[in-house]
């Protein structure tokens, strides 16, 4: 047995829908980013255990377009493949309503401008390069099964990789393992031992999620289902199992013939809540009698697995938990909510400075456009940015601290924010009312019986002020301590003199399950003029994020 263990999740925090490829001795992995910008983070590894971010595939520099609205829109379920010196990423952009491909010869970038694919419908599309160099796309949509019945499923078609267009006829190749299973998606094709193998996710991306397999001797024939399907799922473990939502996988073969798969899953906090969102995990894959065995011996995603003996154990230096903003550029850890079209941020004098933009962070969410077919692109408005800089929550428990220099006027606020989708957020902010400055803790929650892409989506947003204290001006240190679902807010002139402002804000209130756990919690810094025009700005001297080992059985149901 290997002397080293891979720790799951390999990408903790809001890194869902992983896709992976191997090029020689190097492994590259990408994930969804939804409405975060830059988008589609790219990671590199030598050993499948340690992953270092090397870039983003879609950025303002290569013409990426995306709005900030529901947090659940944007780009999701990308797929990465490599062929003859070129990396290809195919993805759907829900802000514009169509699939696209970006390419690069260096996965760290630069990546090409998006090649829009108006003739490629469906979500979760993936590229496959056959042994004869022909390229194919597998994607999702309405198909016709061999009995003539229309249903959701997977189709395949040849693709002209030079001109970025489909060739020939479309072929419906499979539906799913479970009869009428919802959401057959995330297809990937592989070739092994004379068969084409089709891997898909099905059952939806929440509790019933699963990985299934089918195969065919001919790429365009109807595929034969694996009799052992699903090959991986945790739905039979119940709702309180600490790792849930397992599905949406991709695989690579190592030089020694062994296989590994990455997949998304969620850590459960308190028996039901997925604050961290969908994260990236890994398991070993073996082959028996022509079919893959995921996580052989246990059949489930484990917290640790033995590292591959054939790969060199290659850890990367741990990042400093404190960012002093001493570099001219923001670290890749930091992302914006939506493309930062407006000039509202800069790193200067060892501080991150954010302009108070008019947009309020509790503004009512617009209905999200939905449709996987080609549509006339709807470019996001350039004057509707949110002055927010975020990073992903990666631990069940953590401390986050920032030092703010800000003199608020009128309706202006700035401070620390932790948020999930759909206006579910806590803020610890500095504001001014009637000439007096205050620090306050606020909860914003949004309720809706419908998801944001439903035609009748009309959410109700509620603001609750937990507590406030007068502030006499000058720099203020803001701190958030999270222990599972308990969120405590501290304030002071420095970290040695912090006082508790409010204890026990319930993290369940900013973790929406009714609309699904598509995204995960992010936290960071913000500034807003809350509807007014302003030239004022807030300066953040540093930001510290420090994970804390959770105590007790944090995954069990809360009282």
State the catalytic residues.
17, 185
Quick count: other Cβ atoms within 10 Å of Cβ 536? 17
Quick count: other Cβ atoms within 10 Å of Cβ 236? 10
Give CA separation, 356 vs 67, 415, 452, 473, 526, in Å: 18, 11, 27, 18, 8
Q: State the Cα–Cα distance between residues 534 and 410, nearest whole angstrom.
A: 10
Region for residue 63 given its phi and psi (left: phi exceeds 0; alpha: psi -120 to 50; beta: otherwise): left
CA trace torsion 229, 230, 231, 233 (10° rounding): -160
Q: State the Cα–Cα distance between residues 142 and 24, nearest whole angstrom.
A: 37
Residue at token pair 């549509």: 375
Beta strands 232-233 and 210-216, pairing class: antiparallel
Q: Say if CB 243 and CB 218 are below 8 A apart.
A: no
Q: Which helix (H) or strand (E) holds 30?
A: strand 26-30
Cβ-count burial of 100 within 10 angstroms (0-12 exposed, 13-18 middle, 19+ buried)? buried
Q: What is the DSSP string of 392-444?
A: E--SSEEEEEEEEE----TT-EEEEEEEETTTEEEEEEEEEETTEEEEEEEEE
Region for residue 524 given its phi and psi (left: phi exceeds 0; alpha: psi -120 to 50; beta: otherwise): left
Helix (H, G, I), strand (E, B) or coil at 508: helix
Q: State the Cα–Cα distance between residues 136 and 350, nearest whole angstrom.
A: 49
Q: Say if CB 294 and CB 232 are below 8 A apart.
A: yes
Q: State the Cα–Cα distance between residues 115 and 259, nearest whole angstrom.
A: 32
Quick count: other Cβ atoms within 10 Å of Cβ 327? 10
| Longest alpha-carbon distance in the chain | 76
Tell me which residue of 125, 124, 113, 118 sits closest to 96, measured CA to CA: 118
User: Three-state secondary structure along 346-383?
Assistant: EEECCEEEEECECCCCCCCCCCCCCCCCCCCCCCCCCC
């Amino acid at each position: 047995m290997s002397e080293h263990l891979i720790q799951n999740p390999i990408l903790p925090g809001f890194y869902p829908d992983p896709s992976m490829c191997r090029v020689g001795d190097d492994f590259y992995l990408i994930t969804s980013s939804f409405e975060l910008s830059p988008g589609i983070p790219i990671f590199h590894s030598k050993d499948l255990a340690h992953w270092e971010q090397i870039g983003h595939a879609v950025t303002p520099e290569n013409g990426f377009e995306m709005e900030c609205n529901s947090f659940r829109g944007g780009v999701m379920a990308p797929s990465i493949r490599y062929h003859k010196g070129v990396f290809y990423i195919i993805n759907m952009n829900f802000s514009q309503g169509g699939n696209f491909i970006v390419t690069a010869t260096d996965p760290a970038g630069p990546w090409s401008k998006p090649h829009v694919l108006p003739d490629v419908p469906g979500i979760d599309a993936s590229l496959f390069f056959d042994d004869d160099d022909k390229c194919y796309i597998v994607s999702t949509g309405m198909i016709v099964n061999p009995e003539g019945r229309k249903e959701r499923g997977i189709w395949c078609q040849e693709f002209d990789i030079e001109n970025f267009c489909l060739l020939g006829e479309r072929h419906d190749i499979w539906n799913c393992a479970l009869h009428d299973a919802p959401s057959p998606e995330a297809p990937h094709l592989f070739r092994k031992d004379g068969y084409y193998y089709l891997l898909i996710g099905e059952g939806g991306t929440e509790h019933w999620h699963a990985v299934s397999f089918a195969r065919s001797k001919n790429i365009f024939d109807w595929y034969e289902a694996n009799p052992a399907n699903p090959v991986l799922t945790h739905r039979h473990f119940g709702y309180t199992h600490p790792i849930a939502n397992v599905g949406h996988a991709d695989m690579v073969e190592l030089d020694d013939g062994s296989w590994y798969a990455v997949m998304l899953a969620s850590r459960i906090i308190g028996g039901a809540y997925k604050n961290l969102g969908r994260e990236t995990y890994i398991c070993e894959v073996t082959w028996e009698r022509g079919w893959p065995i995921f996580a052989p011996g246990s059949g489930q995603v484990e917290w640790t697995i033995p590292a591959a003996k054939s790969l060199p154990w290659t850890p990367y230096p741990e990042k400093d938990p404190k960012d002093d903003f001493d570099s001219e550029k923001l670290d890749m850890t930091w992302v914006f909510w939506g493309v930062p079209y407006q000039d509202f941020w800069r790193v200067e004098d060892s501080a991150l400075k954010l302009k108070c933009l008019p947009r309020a962070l509790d503004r009512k969410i617009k209905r999200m456009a939905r449709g996987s077919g080609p549509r006339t692109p709807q470019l996001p408005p350039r004057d509707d940015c949110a002055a927010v800089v975020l990073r992903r929550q990666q631990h069940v428990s953590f401390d986050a601290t920032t030092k703010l220099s800000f003199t608020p006027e009128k309706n202006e606020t700035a401070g620390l924010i932790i948020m999930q989708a759909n206006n579910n957020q806590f803020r610890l902010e500095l504001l001014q009312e009637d000439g007096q400055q205050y620090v306050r803790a606020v909860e914003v929650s949004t309720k809706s019986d419908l998801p944001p892409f439903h035609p009748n989506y009309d959410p109700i947003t509620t603001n609750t002020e937990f507590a406030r204290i007068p502030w006499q001006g000058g720099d203020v240190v803001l701190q958030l301590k999270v222990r599972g679902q308990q969120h405590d807010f501290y304030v002071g002139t420095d970290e040695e003199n912090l006082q508790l402002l409010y204890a026990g804000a319930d993290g369940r209130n900013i973790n929406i399950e009714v609309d699904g756990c598509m995204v995960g919690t992010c936290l960071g810094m913000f500034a807003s003029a809350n509807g007014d025009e302003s030239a004022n700005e807030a300066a953040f001297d540093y930001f510290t994020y420090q994970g804390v080992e959770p105590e007790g059985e944090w995954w069990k149901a809360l009282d």
